Amino acid sequence: MIHHIELYVSNLAQTKQFYDFLFAELGAVVYQQWPNGISYQFEKEYIVFVQVEAAYKQPPYHRKHIGLNHLAFQVADQQQVDHLRKKLLTRGVSELYADAYPFAGGSNHYAFYVVRYKLLDNDDGAFSPALFYQHPLDHSKNKLFHCVLPQDLSI
């Protein structure tokens, strides 16, 4: 049903660094790349990130404003959520609801919530949150989903 999703970001270089890692872990490949953008393909669908023009950087994005809250990506199992949690925490993410991991979303949601991500080699204050969760927990098929929540779409 969805052909592609396009998101404007405030820092394309940081976005690429974060999603190159995350999407490689999820089996996506770089589909298109040009000076002001990049896209990653998952089977038939793809997601595009484009550098926003300076005139449109304000106000910054926030997931609680009107508009996009998160994107969901399917993964294989709970072990992959645990694996990605460990790797992303090592890479500098800030975890939301850490005290309730992995059931912060309730007993039917195996979840890893990331409130923001900051690249360790860049100090410009660019953050992006990510959310990984099972929605809902289907014990018969054990399907799991990922969500990436762009706080300000600058990663």
Q: Would you list the domain boundaries of the chain?
A: 4-148
Look over the chain and give the mean of its residue pLDDT values, rounded to a whole number.
75
The CA-atom distances, in angstroms, between 97 and each of 108, 109, 112 are 16, 13, 8
Question: What are the pLDDT digits (tens) for 64-73?
Answer: 777 776 666 6
What pLDDT shows up at residue 28? 93
Predicted structure pTM score: 0.76
Among 67-81, 83-97, 128-142, the range of highest mean pLDDT: 83-97
Which CATH number applies to 4-148: 3.40.50.720, 1.10.3720.10, 3.30.70.260, 3.10.180.10?
3.10.180.10
138 vs 82 pLDDT, higher one: 82
- The phi and psi torsions of 107 (rounded to 5 degrees) equal -70, -15
Instruction: Kindly state the average pLDDT of the residues 11-35.
Output: 91
119 vs 49 pLDDT, higher one: 49
Structure tokens at 89: 């925490």
Decide if 151 contacts 11 (C-beta within 8 A).
no
Three-class SS of the chain: CCCEEEEEECEHHHHHHHHHHHHHHCCCEEEEEECCEEEEEECCEEEEEEECCHHHCCCCCCCCCCCCCCEEEEECCHHHHHHHHHHHHHCCEEEECHHHCCCCCCCCCCEEEEEEECCCCCCCCCCCCEEEECCCCCCCCCCEEEEECCCCCEC
What pLDDT shows up at residue 78? 84
Query: Does 32 score more than 90 pLDDT?
Result: yes
Instruction: Kindly state the average pLDDT of the residues 86-94.
Output: 85
What pLDDT shows up at residue 115? 64
What pLDDT shows up at residue 73? 67
Amino acid sitting at position 37? G
pLDDT band at 29 (very low <50, low <70, confident <90, very high): very high
62 vs 138 pLDDT, higher one: 62
The CA-atom distances, in angstroms, between 85 and each of 18, 43, 95 are 14, 24, 9
Structure tokens at 149: 């929540």
Query: Does 43 score more than 80 pLDDT?
Result: yes
